[in-house]
Structures are given as structure tokens and as C-alpha cells.
Amino acid sequence: MTRHEEPSAGVLESRNTEGRVIALWRWGLLLALILLWELGARLGWLDEFFFSSPSAIFHTAVVKWRSGEMWRDILYTGSSTLLGFVLGTVIGSALGLAFWFSRRTALIAEPWLVVLNALPKLALAPVLVILFGIGFSSKVMLAFLMTVVVAAISAWSGVKAVDPALTTLMISLGARRRQIFSHLVTPSAMPWIISGLRVNIALAMAGSIVGEFIASDRGLGRMIVYAGTTFDLKLVWVGVVVLSIVSVLMYLGVVALEKLLSRRWSDGQPAARS
């Protein structure tokens, strides 16, 4: 008999049933919210000028999509967010892992990381837009700055959590620093790095959108600002709804990536440490 027994068919069926019930409740609540919103707008419970209605928002979105502007704005915002997210996560994680090679450097840099993490980086958005221009690069830079420090702190926290006894054991067995780093430090820190992905994708999106709010020639943030200045509140709601959908899709993508990386590193750690 194995140490961890497989769940019985009854337990699996119970879990599947519970998952279906939860999913039904989630989608049911969303549908009820949309129906109440539409009903409230039609019956005059809500001011349709300010709150619009789901049907009017959908119609405006279709018109905007057919014009070809919607998908270009989605692509612009999504690209700057993902590029800033990837650059910030990779560079920040590499920086945090590199601190293992010099503890003195890490101790000197750690307070600066804390200060940079607490710094309201979005307040620097006007400066960055002026410095890098109103184009794509300033949005990527904002998304990068929002994520790089968080990734570095997560990686360094994982490095500090490495068991010193395992390090001593590998040294006694003749392992070099490079081997200790690749076979012990990096696998041990990966769960910390992976756990910060969900936070970082939201921060990257916030940085990209704020950059578009300040100055941009395209993007969902620019569309929302333009619609607000022209009092086209239906278009504002279109931007908010589409931005929400894009954010959810990116979040789900990161969750899937997180599960994939967690499975890979959890499977690889025993082999790497043996």
C-alpha cells in the first residue's frame, strides 16, 4: 500500500459536484448582477447617463470593435503590461537570487529594496512619461518598475529561507558554489518567486494603465480618459468592462503558469537535491 492513498471514487465525485455547484453560483451571481443592472436602468432606478446599462455598453463595444480601434487598444495595453511583467519578474528575480553570492551586498541593498517597494512609483509616472515619451516604452517602463522590486524581494526572501544545514551538507560533500546555487538555492527560492506572479501581473497592469491615463496615443486607458473628457460615459463603461475582462484573462493565465511552474519545480527538487 502506498503512503498516500488515492481518493475513492465517491470522494472524487463529491469534489466534482462541489466544484460544479460553486461554478454555478459564481456565474449565477454574475448573471443576476447584469440582469439587475439592466432592469434598474430600464426602470429608472439608476441614472442611465452615469451608470448606462449592459445592453448599451454591449452595443457601444460592438460599434467600437467593428471600427477596428478596440482590438488595437487591447493589444497595446496587453503588450505593454505583459512585457513589463516579464522584464520586471525576470530581472527582479535574478537580482534577488544573485544576492546569495554576497551576503554583505544583500544586507546593504535590502533597506533600499524596502524603501523602493514603499515608494509610490505611480507618482513618478509623469516624470517617466516625459523622460521616455508618450509612446509604448514609457508604459513598459512603468509596468517594469511596478514589478521588479517585488520580484527581487520575493526571490531574496526565498534565498534567506534556504536551510543552512543543507548548504553545509553540500559543502561537506565537495559541492561548489555554482552547484549549490543551481541545485539548492534556486529550487528553494522558486516557490517564493512563483507566489509573487499573481501580485506582479496586477501591478504591471496598474502601471501600464496609469501611463496611458497621463499621456498616450492609444490603449484602453487612453480610451477611458478620452471618453471621460467628451462625457461619453457609455464608452467609459466599455473601457472599464473590457479592461476588467483583460485583467481577469491575464490573471487566469498567470495562475495556469504558476501551477505549471509549481508542478515542474516540485517534481524536479528531489532529483536536484539528491
pLDDT at 42 over 60: yes
Query: 180-196, pLDDT tens digit by residue?
Result: 888 888 888 888 888 88
Residues 24 and 220: their CA atoms lie apart, in Å, by 31
Rounded Cα distance, 53 and 41, in Å: 6
- Tell me: do 132 and 39 sit in the same domain: no
Q: What is the pLDDT of residue 85?
A: 94
- Let me know: does 63 contact 74? Beta carbons within 8 Å: no
Give kind and range of the element (H or E) at residue 139.
helix 136-160
Helix axes 54-66, 233-273, angle to 10 degrees: 80
pLDDT digits (tens, 9 = 90+) for 92-145: 999 999 998 888 888 888 888 888 888 787 788 888 888 888 888 889 999 999
How far apart CA 224 and CA 240 sit, in angstroms, is: 7
pLDDT at 168 over 70: yes
- What dihedral angle (degrees, nearest 10) is formed by the CA atoms of 5, 8, 9, 10? -150
**Contact yes or no for 64/235 (Cβ under 8 A):** yes
Specify whether 105 is located in the same domain as 149: yes
Same domain, 19 and 152: no
Do 185 and 215 have their domain in common?
Answer: yes
Length of the chain, in residues: 274
Domain range for 269: 52-273
| Measured distance CA(68)–CA(175) in Å, rounded | 59
Residues 234 and 127 in one domain: yes
Q: Among 117, 133, 110, which residue's Cα sits nearest to residue 203?
A: 117
CATH of the domain at 68: 1.10.3720.10
- How many domains would you assign to the chain? 2
Mean pLDDT computed over every residue of the chain: 84
For residues 17 and 102, state if they share a domain: no
- pTM for this predicted structure: 0.81
Residues 35 and 152 in one domain: no
User: Do 96 and 193 have their domain in common?
Assistant: yes
- Express as a percent the part of the chain with pLDDT over 70: 91
pLDDT of residue 13: 65
Check whether residue 107 and residue 22 sit in a common domain. Answer: no
In which residue are the cell numbers 501551477 written?
259
Average pLDDT on 243-261 reads: 88
Nearest to 145 by CA among 122, 114, 127: 122
Of 164 and 16, the structure prediction assigns the larger pLDDT to 164
Range with top average pLDDT, 41-45, 49-53, 235-239: 235-239
Model confidence band, residue 40 (pLDDT cutoffs 50, 70, 90): confident
Residues 230, 267 share a domain: yes
Answer with the one of 28, 46, 64 that is the final residue of a domain.
Answer: 46
Give the pLDDT confidence score for residue 91 in this predicted structure.
95
The residue among 78 and 216 whose pLDDT is bigger is: 78
Residues 32 and 157 in one domain: no
Q: Which residue has the cell 497621463?
A: 214
